[in-house]
Structure formats: structure tokens, C-alpha cells
Structure 1
Amino acid sequence: MTTFSKAIALCFTLSLLVACGPADNDVVETNLHGPTAAEILGNPDYPAISYGGYRGKTRDLAPTHEQLTEDLKILSAMGVKVLRTYNTSQYPQVASLLEAIRALKNQDPDFEMYLMIGTWIEAHNAWRSGVWDEEKNAWDGDTLTDHTRGNIDNNTREIDTAVAMANEYPDIVKAIAVGNESMVQWAVKYFVYPNTVLKWVNYLQGLKASGGLNPDIWITSSDNYESWGGGATFYQTDDLAALIKAVDFVSVHTYPFHDSFYNQDFWGVLADEEQLSKQEMTAAAMARAVEYAASQYQGVADYVESLGLDKPIHIGETGWASNDSAAYGAKGSMAADEYKEKLFYNYMRDWTDGAGMSLFYFEAFDEQWKDSGDAGGSENHFGFINLNNEVKYAFWDLFDEGGFDGLTRNGKPLVKSYGGDEAKLLSEVLSPPFKSLMAIRKITTINPAAVPGEAVTAGRYVVVHESIQPTGSNNTTYPSAILKLIPWEGTVSIEMSQQGVVSIATRASDWWGTSLEFQAEVGENLENFKSGYLHFELRGDSDIGFNLGFQTGRYLDGDQVNSFAAFGPGAARQVTDEWTSYKLSIDELNAGTDLKDVTGILSLLSQNRAENKQVQLKNIYFSRD
């Protein structure tokens, strides 16, 4: 049985558990307010979607009652019966949305729309940028986000507001999600550890048991698949296990769209597909995208099963953008267009409906506040209806059937995108890249006999090189684990050509950074290279400045140390458009670490804005002399 088939089979098995409800819930009470979460989640008669009705470039401009009512009628026409929201107290949209749903229900008793209310959970000092301590060559810890504890004021307010909403609208609110991607550690500006989420989940479960909250409401947290134990093992902690036991269901996020650029194992056209038509190639690539999503679901399901727990698992968020000006567009992974969006949506619905899972698809309408600085940014284009009232390709059939007749948005009727010209739409579909020609975003040339954490004993440690390769007699080795080319917080794009040239392009940000990060539970042990050298060749724009070297420890663990040298204007080492060879002394670079835990094999960091600048590196290796 394939991973995809196993995912479907296991998901169907889990869906049968939904009707039983949470095992630890001893409160039995008849719900007089319509279907319960147990009856809704996993039921294909209740399609779900993520909803935000913001039209402007800031969430301070909340949609009006009339605008919300328009959106609800459109969503109902699309067959949607369950909405997922993201905040309770920070912005007024959800309070107004509940009022609008209640008003429509009063007008038409047959109108159905239910909510999974999301609460925004964040860390203490969330969104703080910190202060760089030049003497310590590190961040000042007192000004950094403290991920070990939550923002008590914000989090309490969010939870209390959710409880009040659930009690006031028991016929509408069916689930509460404690946090949105609040545990995934790439959310470096605000993430918390599972114990913070667990605290609030237990609080809500306690209210259910004591009568302070409807016992039929289901409690979850909505987060990335890795945060639920489906990927990197460092997420698999005792606190996470306790959280999974405490929730009523697991809400998993999976985004093949984003990984079409950052983790391309599944993406692209296979060699035996290169002669197919564009539509056939695209369909095959999108089918693999759904298999990839299913594999991430399966990772979570396997982890839950390993804990001896039975929990319903639903897809809390996934989606596919129809446009992008950078990483996912014509100059990137060539993933973003309306045709692929339709295929992904249909394939995902087919899978989850057949497997007995709810799918909170992201999202109903385009919103421009998500990337207010770049109108073409993918985050602004995940909806099925754009800001010009154009219904995208995924719902053209419903449009042709008259499903949107008489409905308006902002007082204007809906129309089809591309003016309804399918030939024009298809002509602009981006062909997925051939895998044989795709840029590389992780370095997989490793020494399978080497063990991460054990000291490297060879004389040369080669990251990538056009002529130096390990043999049985040249005392040379490759890394003991894969190196991922990681753009820090999306501030750059980074990729490697088939010829081994690492290319970095900076984006619009007040700082930027990137690293060839070692993918193991421990860093590479390069203690034998403490008197050696870091070699590489470099070229780029002459007006860009940055620090380059290696990193030990981990930022999120608070023990990261940067061992860097300065390049660019004002530094001893300049950058030019000609390849220049460098041999940096490890002893001079080293900022006080013992080199037993090198996690960033090669890293670049700049505290200065440098938009649309280029840096390239090649022939990277360490030597002991």
C-alpha cells in the first residue's frame, strides 16, 4: 500500500472515531443548538473554508455588516457551511461575523453557517526585533521574544473572548482553536512551546467539564504538521504528547505550494513525463502535490498512533495561490496560477471527503493586507474570488450554473476571471519545471558512513566543489547529513545550480540572512578544524555588505554563536562581479565556540537593507591546514 493510500485508509479509520467524541469528556449533555462538532467535522455535507473578509491593506479596516452579509451569501452559494477564523479580541471582524450570521439565520431558519473560532496565541515580547550587541556578537536577550512563556495579556483576552462568543452563539460556534501556527518554530517572531498551548486547552476543557462552556464544543490547536510531531523529531516532546491527549481533534496544516520552492522533492515534471502535454504534466505534478500533503498528514497520524492515542485528524489549513511575483511565479517554482489552484482544490476535496476528513481550505477571498508591500505577492492571492469580484477558475462551473446569480460583493456583481476566456487562461498556465533542470535547494551529497556529532577526522570537508571530491585516498569527506539552503524569514531567495553555484538574491527587508543549515539533531563536529580554514569563491554586487562565516548552536535554544567576517563597503574584503577566492582562518573567525556543534555550515547575515542584490558562492570547503 502506498503512503497516499495508507493516509486515506488511516484517515477514514480515524474519522469513524469522531462520533465518539473525546475519551476524557465525562460531561453528557444534549445540545439543543443544531449539529455538534462531532457531527460536522469529517462530514462531507459540511464543507469548510478559512475566511477573512478584509478588503484593505490593513486589518484596522474591518468589513462592514453589509460586506459580511454579502460574503456569507456567496459562501453559502459555494456550498460552504463551516468557516475558520483567526482572532477574537485583536480585531472586530469575528464579533461582526457572528452578528451577521445570526441576522441571516433570523431571516431564513434554513441558513446554515458554523464557526471554528481561532484564538491568536503568541509569546512574551512577540514581534520584538531585539537589539544587536556588537561586543558580544549576539542579540541582547532582554529585548528578544521569550518563547518559553506566552503573552499573558493578549492570550488571556483572546481565550476569554472566544468563551464569551461561544456562550453567546452556541448555535454557530462549534470549535475553538487555541493558536494558529503558534508552535511551529519558523514563526520566530511569536511562536510558543506546546506547554503554553496546553495550558489554555486544559483551561477550556475544564470549562466544558464545569458547565462554563458547551461540552459539545471541540477544542484543538491549528498548526503545521511538524508542530504535531509529523516531521522533525525535536518537536516530539512530552508536552506535545500531553497536548495531543488533551485536544478533541488535531488540526493539521500542510502547504505543498510553499514547498514547491523550499522543499522540492515532490515538485516538477519527471523525466518520463517531459513529452506529455502541458495540461497532462501539470495534472501529474498536482497529483503528487496532494500525495505530498497526504504524507505530511500521515506523519502526524503515525506519531499520534505511536503515543497510543486515537484522535480525529482534520486538515486545518492548506491552499494554493493563483499568482506570485517572486518565489512561486515564472521566476521561481512556476507553481502559482488559477489552473493549478483548481486542480489542487479538487484533488484535496476528493481525498479528504473520501477519507472522512474536514478540509478548512485557505481561503475564500483574496486579501491584500497579508503582503501590503507587494500586490503581486502570493499571500494576497490564495482566495477563490479576487478583489475585483472575479471568480477564479476553480468555481467557473458553479458560475456557469447560475450559482452566483443575483449575488454581489461591495455592491457589484461577480464576474469570471479572464473574462471567461478559458483559452487565454490556459495559455498563461505555467508549466511545472522539469526536475532534470530544476535548481537545487538542499545539498544531498553526504558521507553515509559518517555519524552526526562524531568528530570529522578527514583533512578536508567538502560542501560543494567542482573538482575536489572524496576518494578512498585523498583524506576528504562530505557532510554527515543533508544541508538545506534556508532563507531566513523569507528575506532572500537561495538556490544552487546543477553546476554547484549557490545564488542568493535579497528581497525588500530591513535585514537579511541565509544559511546552509545542517539537518540533524546535533550539529557537525568540526573540532579538528579549529586551526584550519574555510575556503570559497565569491562574487556579487559591489554595494552590498554582509557578514559571512559559520554558526554553532541554535537561535531558538539561545546558544547560537556567529563566527563571521565582514564583506563589502567599509570592510577589508570587498565584493566584486569577478570570482574571488577566499581562505578564512577558522582561528580568526571563531567567536569562542569549540566547533563541536556547527549548525550553519556557511551563513550570511546583514543588518542593512539591500533590496534586489545578488551574491554567489562556489567551491566551498573546510581544510585542516
Structure 2
Amino acid sequence: MGIASSFFRTSLCASLALTLACTPPTNGSDNGPTPAEILGNPDYQAMSYGGYRGKTRDDGPTVEQLVDDIRILNAMGIKLLRTYNTSQFPQAERLLEAIRREKQADPSFEMYVMLGAWIEAKNSWAEAVWDADNDTWIEGTGPDHTEGNLQNNSQEIDTAIRLANEHPDIVKAISVGNEAMVQWAVTYFVYPKTILKWVNYLQAAKASGELKADVWVTSSDNYESWGGGNPVYHTADLTQLFEAVDFVSVHTYPFHDSFYNPSFWGVLPSEEALPFDEMTGLTMDRAIAYAKGQYQSVLDYMSQLGIDKPVHIGETGWASIDGTAYGVKGSKAADEYKQKAFHDRLRAWTDEEGISLFFFEAFDEQWKNADSPDHSENHFGLVTLDNELKYALWEAFDEGRFAELTRNGAPLKKSFSGELESLLASAMVPPFKSQMAVRRIETVNKTREPGEAVTEQRLVVVHDTLSDDSSDITFPSAMLKLTPWEGTTAIELMPDGVVRIETRAGDWWGASLEFAADVGEDLSAFNQGTLHFDIRGSDNVNFSLGFQTGNFLRGDQVNNFANFGPSSNRRVSSDWQAVALPISEINSGTDMTDVSNLIALLSQDRAPEREIFLRNIYFSQE
């Protein structure tokens, strides 16, 4: 059916400036269980799925390879899959064909799909141009987060409608966007109004009969994007989105936060003498509690809004290998033993509570970080690219579930050759809390509320000699979070009071000491003052350093930076040097009543494994 055959659809498409090929629902006598009967039902275990074997997605898996995969997934007990794209790559369409073939061969075979439609901003993935002289982005470059990529987004939604109508017995839900609203996804995020537009579009298509009415519509996003964290996300558009979706799909990742926000992670002092399995089990229990807390925070916000809808976990997972942040030099989280512990504990809870859990993911993929084989993103699967079943699936293997099944023409086998002793030898003891680096600075002035003007002569961030014994010295009114931007760095406070920043591989990197409050610190009295610090580190990296005002999530953040490195007149060496930056020279004319990051570093240079050290950081009014 073309657009012209339906006045309603023609009007709707025209209003959105789209050109969509609309396919009518397929009339079938039995489309199987409804979404309400599947979602939250432990008899329909869910999994995030990507079947890409190679280092790019350009050559996706064939239908025959996908048949192999769904047979393996069925042996795992999985009956509900989540995909991520519809039109950009052919995998979703081929997957549905593979399921159809298997159902035709075996009418009792059950496998259902939540189709993901990829949503992104206008000019997503375009490289923005950084003007180092003026410490700003050149206007007109990079993503425009206020608008969506109309061509891509319309094609994704149109294809989702077509596929759902062609496979009414398989497609049970459509997810509009994947982490598309979380604003640290700086290359592609959109605001809730864009997601809302497409959710409403799908709901209207259901009402008109252009999309089968029993397909549920949602958006899959980070718990903060669903209102469970920073109040910046609490907007009228988000409230309307809650009202428009049929259910809420929430992401939670304790694995990532084991390094970047490790408040829950690590072995407590009272547990250090316990056997490995006990101390690890208690640590993983806290990881589960952390995930439950993020899930509950979304429920709490929905309750505030008076909204009562099903909430499921659209994505979470645990990587088994990592060479940097989560490996032996980081949080020591990435191994198969902990992956199984997380998977089994979270499955038990979600099954008991009637929550669908789309565990990420079924099979390892290598396209996300093709140049870094040991990167965690390549190792979230329960099955390796070499057909090894990780520890979470050993019991199922012993039960004979995978007998005679193959992937890429080869049989499946246990990792570590099935030797438990070898697996345990590879598992890392979680870090002891007593020895973990600090990623929060909690020395605060509890007598002043965030937003109140700092009147003392000096505001100390961290210093080895300055203290609040003097009436002219104070500390921030809220704690400071040591924040690595998008995982491009590691940042930590060393026991000697030194802030250490280590860069990762990437085209840019950044980190900050973030003021952990809803408003920034009021440093209006310091307009003519000075930012002081000592610095040393790698001498072959260019970066900007200073402070930030405003809030990135609100869209009003401003960098107040000076340039450092070999391309500037401020060079860094292996020796400590004292720096005094006049605030009047680096202030970009911004509102000093809202200093959101008291120290921030940003570089547009690719410079992996460089180190910068800072100490004795403070602001003075003179």
C-alpha cells in the first residue's frame, strides 16, 4: 500500500515532511501471545542480540548464520530478542526471516522480537571543529541535538512498521532509539521531543490500522534519561513520553560504574579475610543492589508524575575481558566468574519480580572496537567468537542443550576447556575498599548550601597544607566527583592528595572535578582572582585546562580554559611547576555564580596513555 491510499497516513507523513512506504498489517489467524503475556513472564527469557562476526557491520550475518544463532539462543532458553537497527543494516530483516524459517520447520518453535529503530541527531557522527585559540566549537559543525536526522530516523521507523506488519507473529514491540536521550552520548543524542514525535507517530499508525495494534511501543534508554537521576532530565517532554509509551525500557550498568562511580564496588575491610567466592559474592550482591536502585529511581520518578506503566530492563550486561578500566589495572571486574555471578543474580531477581531482562548480550562482537581486541565492548557476550560458551552457560552445556548445534560450521565448547580450576585462576579478586583510589573529594563546608556565594578569600579544592583553620579559607559546599568524560580518561585522587589523569585511546579526551549539586558553586567574588595549582606530566600532549560554568545537560556550559602543552606557551614536564591563572584571562564572560566543574581538562588530540598530575588546587580572590 502506498502513501496515497490512506488520507490519514498521507496527512501525517506530510506533516512530518516524510516520504514513507506504508505496508498494511498482515491478517493472520493466530499471532501467538501478546506483548502483555510475554513481557515480564519468566517463561519468555529476553536477550539483546547482535550476530555480527566481523570487524565491521557492512557484511552482516547471512540468514543461514542467523538460523544457527537462534537455535543456540533457543537452547539457552531465550524466546525474546532485542535488535538495534532496522534499515541501516540488513540483520534485523534477515533475523526475522531466519525465525520464520525455523517456525515453518517446527511449528512449536517460539522466538519473538523487539525491533530497535535507531534514532540520532542531525549531523550525528560529523566531526565538530574545535577552535583552540578561543576554546570553543566552531558554530555550525558537529551534531545538532535539537533536531533529528530526518532521513535516517524516518527510514528506521518506516522499516520497523513494514517488518512488524510482515511478521505479526514474531514482532511484539518496537523500541524507538537506543540510549538516544542520554546526553553523554555527545555524537548522536536527541532531546525527548524527538523520541516523543516518533513514539506518537507509531501510536497513530496503530490507531489508523497502518501498524498492527498489538505491537507495544517504547524507547530504550539510560535510567537517568528516564528521570531516575539528574533533574535536568525532568522535562515536560519526558513526562509526555512516559504517557505515550506502552512500557518503559530502562538501562542500568553496574559494570561500567565499577570503575567510574565505584561507590558500591570493592571488598569491605570486614570481608578481606573471607574466601574468594564469599568476598566476590558479597561484592556482586552490592552490584545487584546498585542496579535495583537505578531501576527503582525510575519507578519513584514515575510515581511522582502519577504514571503507572510496566518498567522492564532493556539492557544490562557484564563483560568478561577488558585490558584497561575494568581489568587488572582497573576495577578488576571483567572476568567470566563475575559475569556469571551478575547474570544469575539479576535473572533471579527479575524473574521473581516479573521484570523482563534483556541481558547484553548473546554473542561477542568485535566491530565496536575493532582496533582494540581486549576492549570490554568486544566481550559482553555469553558466547565467544571462537564458539566457546562462557561460564554462565557451562551448566546448560552439561545438560546437553547444545548437542549437535554449530556456529559458523563448528561445534560449541566450554571456555577454559571446561576446567574450573583454570577459570578460577583467571578470575580477579575484587579490589579492597581500603586500597581503592578515591574518585570523590568529600572535604566540604557543611555550613554553606550550594548556590550560596563563597565569601572567604580562598576556596580549597585539594591541598596538602591549606586547611580551614583560618577564617579566610573554605572548601566547596558539595563533594566533587572525579569524572572521566565518556570513558576517555581515568581520573583518581591518589593517597598523597594528587589528582591523576590518564588518557585512553580516542580522538579526544576530557575529565573534570564535577561539583555534585543541582546548582554550581557561586564564585562571583573571584572574578578578579586566580586559579592556583601545581602540574606535571607527559610533555607531548596538548590540552586545555581551567573551569566550566553552566551545565552540559542544560546546554549552557561554557569552557573557561587556558592552553597547555608543546603547542602553547605553557609547557608541561616531568617536574612539578606552580601555575597561577588569572581568572580574568580565562573567564569567557560567563556567570561565575554557577561554576559546575571546578577543574576541567579537554583535548582534541589523540594521545593515549599520557598522564597529567595536579595538586594544591585552590581559588583565591586576589
Which TM-score tier does this pair reach, normalised by the shorter chain?
over 0.9
Tell me the amino acid that sits aligned with residue 307 of structure 1.
L
Matched, 1:507 2:501: no
Equivalent of 1:568 in 565, 569, 586: 565
Equivalent of 1:600 in 597, 601, 604: 597
Equivalent of 1:485 in 478, 482, 485: 482
Alignment deviations for residues 305-338 of structure 1 (CA, whole Å, 9 cap, x no partner): 1111110010100000001000000000000000
Matched, 1:446 2:418: no
Alignment deviations for residues 533-575 of structure 1 (CA, whole Å, 9 cap, x no partner): 1111111112222221112223454433322222221432221
Matching of residues 53-72 of structure 1 within 5 Å = 53-72=51-70
Give the whole-Å Cα distance in 2 for the aligned partners of 1:79 and 1:364: 12
Seen in structure 2, the aligned counterparts of structure 1 residues 31 and 485 have a Cα distance that, compared at 3 Å, is farther
Which consecutive residues of structure 2, in runs of 5 or more, have no partner in the other structure?
1-26
Give the whole-Å Cα distance in 2 for the aligned partners of 1:93 and 1:426: 36
Q: Which moved more, 1:451-460 or 1:353-362?
A: 451-460
Equivalent of 2:533 in 531, 536, 547: 536
Give the whole-Å Cα distance in 1 for the aligned partners of 2:258 and 2:524: 36
- Asked whether the equivalents of residues 523 and 594 of structure 2 are also in contact (C-alpha less than 8 Å), the reply is yes
SS at match of 2:293: helix
SS at match of 2:431: coil
Tell me the amino acid that sits aligned with residue 379 of structure 1.
E
Equivalent of 2:413 in 402, 415, 418: 415
- Asked whether the equivalents of residues 462 and 622 of structure 1 are also in contact (C-alpha less than 8 Å), the reply is yes
**What is the CA-CA distance between 1:591 and the residue it aligns to?**
2.4
Equivalent of 1:455 in 446, 449, 453: 453
Give the whole-Å Cα distance in 2 for the aligned partners of 1:440 and 1:395: 36
- Aligned match of 2:521: 524
Tell me the amino acid that sits aligned with residue 508 of structure 2.
W
Give the whole-Å Cα distance in 2 for the aligned partners of 1:106 and 1:130: 50
- Aligned match of 1:614: 611
- Asked whether the equivalents of residues 167 and 214 of structure 1 are also in contact (C-alpha less than 8 Å), the reply is yes
- Aligned match of 1:578: 575
- Asked whether the equivalents of residues 508 and 611 of structure 1 are also in contact (C-alpha less than 8 Å), the reply is yes
Tell me the amino acid that sits aligned with residue 480 of structure 2.
L
- Aligned match of 2:90: 92
- Aligned match of 1:298: 296
Give the whole-Å Cα distance in 2 for the aligned partners of 1:400 and 1:344: 21
- Aligned match of 2:551: 554
**What is the CA-CA distance between 1:219 and the residue it aligns to?**
0.6
- Aligned match of 1:203: 201
- Aligned match of 1:23: none
- Asked whether the equivalents of residues 31 and 216 of structure 1 are also in contact (C-alpha less than 8 Å), the reply is no
**Aligned residues with identical type, % of pairs:** 61
Matching of residues 256-335 of structure 1 within 5 Å = 256-335=254-333
- Aligned match of 2:154: 156
Tell me the amino acid that sits aligned with residue 280 of structure 1.
E
Q: Which moved more, 1:434-443 or 1:248-257?
A: 434-443
**What is the CA-CA distance between 1:516 and the residue it aligns to?**
1.2
Tell me the amino acid that sits aligned with residue 141 of structure 1.
E
Structure 1-normalised TM-score? 0.93
Alignment deviations for residues 257-287 of structure 1 (CA, whole Å, 9 cap, x no partner): 0000111110001111111011111110001
Matching of residues 109-188 of structure 1 within 5 Å = 109-134=107-132, 136-188=134-186
Alignment deviations for residues 224-278 of structure 1 (CA, whole Å, 9 cap, x no partner): 0001111111111111111111111110000000000111110001111111011
**What is the CA-CA distance between 1:623 and the residue it aligns to?**
1.1
Matched, 1:494 2:491: yes
Give the whole-Å Cα distance in 2 for the aligned partners of 1:58 and 1:500: 44
- Asked whether the equivalents of residues 533 and 579 of structure 2 are also in contact (C-alpha less than 8 Å), the reply is yes
Matched, 1:193 2:191: yes
Tell me the amino acid that sits aligned with residue 608 of structure 1.
D
Which consecutive residues of structure 1, in runs of 5 or more, have no partner in the other structure?
1-28
- Aligned match of 1:392: 390
SS at match of 2:78: coil
**What is the CA-CA distance between 1:128 and the residue it aligns to?**
1.8
Give the whole-Å Cα distance in 2 for the aligned partners of 1:418 and 1:592: 60
Task: Indicate the RMSD between aligned Cα atoms, in angstroms.
Answer: 1.4
- Asked whether the equivalents of residues 470 and 477 of structure 1 are also in contact (C-alpha less than 8 Å), the reply is yes
Seen in structure 2, the aligned counterparts of structure 1 residues 31 and 285 have a Cα distance that, compared at 3 Å, is farther
Give the whole-Å Cα distance in 2 for the aligned partners of 1:284 and 1:256: 14
SS at match of 1:176: strand
SS at match of 1:59: coil
SS at match of 1:371: coil
Q: Which moved more, 1:56-65 or 1:567-576?
A: 567-576
SS at match of 1:143: coil
Structure 2-normalised TM-score? 0.94
**What is the CA-CA distance between 1:487 and the residue it aligns to?**
1.7
Seen in structure 2, the aligned counterparts of structure 1 residues 50 and 31 have a Cα distance that, compared at 3 Å, is farther
- Aligned match of 2:101: 103
Tell me the amino acid that sits aligned with residue 503 of structure 1.
R
SS at match of 1:601: strand
- Aligned match of 2:244: 246
- Asked whether the equivalents of residues 178 and 220 of structure 1 are also in contact (C-alpha less than 8 Å), the reply is yes
Tell me the amino acid that sits aligned with residue 606 of structure 1.
S
SS at match of 1:229: helix
Total equivalences in the alignment? 596
Q: Which moved more, 1:599-608 or 1:185-194?
A: 599-608
Tell me the amino acid that sits aligned with residue 237 of structure 2.
D
Tell me the amino acid that sits aligned with residue 484 of structure 1.
K
- Asked whether the equivalents of residues 53 and 366 of structure 2 are also in contact (C-alpha less than 8 Å), the reply is yes
SS at match of 1:142: coil
Give the whole-Å Cα distance in 1 for the aligned partners of 2:557 and 2:231: 20
Alignment deviations for residues 176-213 of structure 1 (CA, whole Å, 9 cap, x no partner): 00110010111111111111111111111111122111
Tell me the amino acid that sits aligned with residue 371 of structure 1.
N
SS at match of 2:535: strand
Seen in structure 2, the aligned counterparts of structure 1 residues 371 and 236 have a Cα distance that, compared at 3 Å, is same
Give the whole-Å Cα distance in 2 for the aligned partners of 1:48 and 1:434: 34
Give the whole-Å Cα distance in 2 for the aligned partners of 1:543 and 1:187: 28
- Aligned match of 2:80: 82
- Aligned match of 1:216: 214
Tell me the amino acid that sits aligned with residue 122 of structure 1.
E
Give the whole-Å Cα distance in 2 for the aligned partners of 1:31 and 1:300: 38
SS at match of 2:190: coil
SS at match of 1:73: helix
- Asked whether the equivalents of residues 55 and 367 of structure 2 are also in contact (C-alpha less than 8 Å), the reply is yes
Give the whole-Å Cα distance in 2 for the aligned partners of 1:41 and 1:598: 44
Matching of residues 349-364 of structure 1 within 5 Å = 349-364=347-362
Tell me the amino acid that sits aligned with residue 113 of structure 2.
L
Give the whole-Å Cα distance in 2 for the aligned partners of 1:334 and 1:488: 20
- Aligned match of 2:378: 380
- Aligned match of 1:18: none
Give the whole-Å Cα distance in 2 for the aligned partners of 1:201 and 1:122: 14
Q: Which moved more, 1:483-492 or 1:154-163?
A: 483-492
Give the whole-Å Cα distance in 2 for the aligned partners of 1:30 and 1:106: 15
- Aligned match of 2:20: none
SS at match of 1:90: coil
Give the whole-Å Cα distance in 2 for the aligned partners of 1:380 and 1:436: 31
Give the whole-Å Cα distance in 2 for the aligned partners of 1:588 and 1:150: 37
Give the whole-Å Cα distance in 2 for the aligned partners of 1:481 and 1:146: 33
Tell me the amino acid that sits aligned with residue 195 of structure 2.
V
Tell me the amino acid that sits aligned with residue 435 of structure 1.
K
SS at match of 2:368: helix
